[in-house]
Structure 1
Amino acid sequence: MAESSQLPYLLRATKGEVLDRPPVWMMRQAGRYMKSYRDLREKYPSFRERSENVDIAVEISLQPFHAFKPDGVILFSDILTPLPAIGIDFDIVESKGPIIDPPIRTQSQIDQLHPIEPEESLPFIREILQILKREVKNEAAILGFIGAPWTLAAYAIEGKSSKDYTFIKRMAFCEPEMLHQFLGKLADAIAVYARYQINSGAQVIQMFDSWAGQLSPQDYETFALPYQKRVVQQVKATHPNTPFILYINGSAGLLERMPQTGVDIVSLDWTVDIGEARQRLGKNIGIQGNIDPGVLFGSKEFIKSRILETIRKAGNQGHILNLGHGVLQKTPEENVEFFFKTAKEVSNLLAVTA
């Protein structure tokens, strides 16, 4: 145990240690709710400049760490960041989100995509992660992240965010061979990108398949799960000890299928009871989440009660405390601070309320 105690606290949870409290971090840690981030956004209005300029991205990644001391520090980037490296350019427009123009809808476009060479096309990722590792030391785990093939394909084929995903679903149901080819190319590129992040300093990888929850279970098994698994298998082949987290928004109907991907931890949204999720996933899968981000608009007593309830249900092993999605715009910073403070003191609070 002496050796384990030298590890960042979050990594100890991924190894299944029994802990006094769960490690805690938040998805979308630096974002619209932090004044320091908004100030930087005013100065550097282009998202890609903020995420691809090493100094700016490091500063943004560390803003929540300096403010709240979470147990995990996630790279400030976007799931679309590796797409230009395979031949798909994008922009992120304030208040509109990602734009891919022209969208990918033909065989010839898919044929023109090329393998990813991250050392050449994404050198800033290595620099950012290396600096974060040096700055954070062992005080927190460094998280890298990737988008899953289905979600990246959805953005590329729709050309933007969507409510009904008609273009990608039309391709899935009318031209499935073309979509499978595209998903395969994305999976292979994403696996290379994930390994590049680990080699650069990331100690945990989280895969976001934000839009896989829009699929029926049978279509998830056809168009999402096999490619999530393909990514995980390739990464685990070279980095078997790097913990892998999978997040799907709206995943309550897919929980039993998610462990088939080979991930170590399933990140839950708030649409499922965390205790029930434990039972459905099985004892060999860790869990992350699953507090509704809207809770952070509540009173401090309400926030505390939700934290304690979640931890009691999740147990003291294999649980990472997090929100069920990213921090919402206009979330009071003092409530985020209170969330972290309470989470860090939870072992004492549980003893008092037991």
Structure 2
Amino acid sequence: MNAPLKNDRFLRALRREPVDTTPIWVMRQAGRYLPEYRATRERAGSFMGLAQNPEFACEVTLQPLDRFELDAAILFSDILTIPDAMGLGLSFAQGEGPQFARPVRSADDIARLAVPDMDGELRYVMDAVRMIRRELDGRVPLIGFAGSPWTLACYMVEGSGSRDFARLKAMCWNEPALAHRLLDVLAHSVAAYLAAQAAAGAQALMIFDTWGGLLGPAPFREFSLRYMAQIVAALKTDPHARELPVVLFSKGANTHLAAMADTGCAALGVDWTVDLADARRAVAGKVALQGNLDPAILHASPAVIRREARAVMDSYGNHPGHVFNLGHGITPEVDPGHVRVLVDEVHAYGRTLREDRAATQPRPTGT
């Protein structure tokens, strides 16, 4: 049996409930900027050896929590686990990012794809979730995650990373029905994958739509948002996932925040190219917001980090429903000490905001 939560700020904020201070976690909080991560990665022998070993995945998931007073843990894994489990031959070339030996380019390629077996090819992920949840012992909630169908398809069709993923875009224009078949099987796979993580012990779920911002307004709605909404709807019918908050993060898609808020998700991640006050107006109180400090600010001085963190929080205002985060993942060259400065400042300033609000509340009068 899993231990009760000792710190539920993150989950309360996602429900837009009052909290004692602003919760914070950091995208890629377990990563190469930490020397202990690099040591574990060396022991694992490769990135895939790290990600596919539940003991190593658990170890690196917990490493940032041992350094910083973070309010959530996130499963250490990769967004490309699903296409790898579909047999596309994922590898990570040194300095070149992910590559697939068998990219998806034709109708026959797509016809061969099927929802992976969560107790087979992806069991290592669920074993990691169970182990992490047990080792957390209620310290903070655990976030499970997946890549969005659009983002997964970008890598699967291109075969590697790209600046524009033109091959998938061409498929959308030239053979839209084929693109939809690919995205549909991916949506079913992502929904099953996240539901399995919920069953294994994840307490919140996040969908990373890393490349949604590459699409124009109408294509975004058709090829990205449609399938994220399909996943959220499917999770709401799953006995393990239906009560869990779902966070959508679509980098560069800030003009679609209102439509994303209508999917039924609990929160939206926001990148640093939009003011949080504008984002809060766009979603009209329907969802919580997560973000949105520019990751590059962590290379600045501690004084600047504190100032910019306060600016983000002031932009959101003293309203419920804010989870502090970066607007994208932390970069490998960041000084871990600067992350500590950020975490401590967010908690300290969050308490100050709430104390100021309490001081300005009208006192009840007697009768």
Alignment of 1:1-354 (within 5 A): 8-238=8-238, 239-314=241-316, 315-350=318-353
Map Cα deviations across residues 234-293 of structure 1 (whole Å, 9 max, x no partner): 111112210000111112222222123321100000000001110011111110000000
Cα distance between partner residues in 1 of 2:62 and 2:354:
32
Cα distance between partner residues in 1 of 2:28 and 2:50:
15
**2:299 counterpart letter in structure 1:** F
| Counterpart contact for 2:271–2:292, Cα < 8 Å | yes
How many residue pairs get aligned? The number is: 351
**1:139 counterpart letter in structure 2:** R
Paired residue secondary structure (1:121): coil
**1:84 counterpart letter in structure 2:** D
Paired residue secondary structure (2:332): coil
C-alpha spacing 1:7/1:60, structure 2 compared with 1 (3 Å): closer
RMSD of aligned residue pairs (Cα, Å): 1.8
Paired residue secondary structure (1:254): helix
Q: CA deviation at 1:350?
A: 4.0
Map Cα deviations across residues 77-120 of structure 1 (whole Å, 9 max, x no partner): 00111223333331122311110122100111111112221012
Q: CA deviation at 1:223?
A: 0.7
C-alpha spacing 1:228/1:347, structure 2 compared with 1 (3 Å): closer
Q: CA deviation at 1:37?
A: 1.1
Cα distance between partner residues in 2 of 1:134 and 1:316:
33
| Counterpart contact for 1:19–1:316, Cα < 8 Å | no
**1:129 counterpart letter in structure 2:** V
Which moves more between the two structures, 145-154 or 82-91?
82-91
Mark the runs of 5 or more structure 2 residues left unpaired by the alignment: 358-367
C-alpha spacing 1:102/1:116, structure 2 compared with 1 (3 Å): closer
Mark the runs of 5 or more structure 1 residues left unpaired by the alignment: none
Paired residue secondary structure (1:307): helix
**1:247 counterpart letter in structure 2:** F
Cα distance between partner residues in 1 of 2:7 and 2:353:
25
Q: CA deviation at 1:40?
A: 2.1
Paired residue secondary structure (1:69): coil
Cα distance between partner residues in 2 of 1:234 and 1:201:
18
Percent pairwise identity: 33
TM-score w.r.t. the length of structure 1 is 0.95
Paired residue secondary structure (2:331): coil
Q: CA deviation at 1:174?
A: 0.3
TM-score w.r.t. the length of structure 2 is 0.91
Map Cα deviations across residues 7-59 of structure 1 (whole Å, 9 max, x no partner): 62211111211123111000001112111111222333311110111111111
Map Cα deviations across residues 318-345 of structure 1 (whole Å, 9 max, x no partner): 1100000000121011101111122222
Map Cα deviations across residues 101-145 of structure 1 (whole Å, 9 max, x no partner): 221001111111122210122222222111211221222110000
C-alpha spacing 1:352/1:228, structure 2 compared with 1 (3 Å): closer
Map Cα deviations across residues 153-182 of structure 1 (whole Å, 9 max, x no partner): 000001111112110011000011111001
Partner of 2:365: none
Cα distance between partner residues in 1 of 2:164 and 2:123:
35
**1:258 counterpart letter in structure 2:** M
Which moves more between the two structures, 43-52 or 206-215?
43-52
